[in-house]
Amino acid sequence: MPRKNTGNTAAFRRPALSGEVALVTGASRGIGRAIALRLAALGASIAICGRDVRALASAESEIKKSGALLYAQIADVTRSADVTSLVAKTQNALGPISILVNNAGIGLFGPAHEKTEADWDRVLDSNLKSVFLVSREVVPSMIRRRKGDIINISSLAGRNAFAGGALYCASKWGLQGLSACMAEDLREFGIRVGVVCPGSVATDFSGRGPKDPTKVLLPEDVAHAVAMILTQGPQSFLSEVQLRPLRKA
């Protein structure tokens, strides 16, 4: 005879991230938007930010359709004052942040010797400094609660060099190092830090030229990897996911 389940069946129907509060940076479009939607579908309350008013409003409208609790704010995560405001207002609206997805970033390509100091600052601030600023603001609360997940959206460019990729690769190689050190610093507090390293993704991200749509990832593929990390068992620690299109370009 099959064994009778005497446990609480309602617990099995509970969404995987119910009760969690997730902050996703750069979530007004592309990968960030897909991640926010996926985490909302898994039951998390969602906070999103971006710099484009119209794009953020569109993302906000779409996420609200899921029924998730939502907070949205215009913010530049390369500025410490904006970050402090974003985190404080998110926690006032939704509660302590238990999931942070550092997704905001830009691409600027070409030989290093042809780039300006302003180009360098723009890429490194967006792709690396922002992760430092937002994580620094969120981590103390996670340490107090001895719980949290931080996922940094890196790139296979953080592991591979290519012509014209100097600034972008520098930012992503730096992100790999920052993430690995954060993971070691925070694991004793029950905080997991991991990275997702996608290859080419079909977004309006400023890349190196047109992409064959049959040979790139979808934003939803990256969102799936983030969800996989967040729904792993409590004793495990996925430090890095490398995500490639099935077909080579």
Within the chain, where are the H helices?
9-13, 30-41, 53-64, 80-94, 117-124, 130-145, 166-186, 219-230
Q: How far is CA 36 from CA 13, 28, 143, 239, 245, in A?
A: 21, 9, 24, 21, 22
CA distance 177 to 141: 23
- Is 71 known to be catalytic? no
Within 78-186, where are the H helices?
80-94, 117-124, 130-145, 166-186
Q: Quick check: 138 and 47 in contact, CB under 8 A?
A: no
Residue 212 DSSP code: -
Which residue in 87, 100, 108, 168 is the catalytic one?
A: 168
Residues noted as catalytic:
168
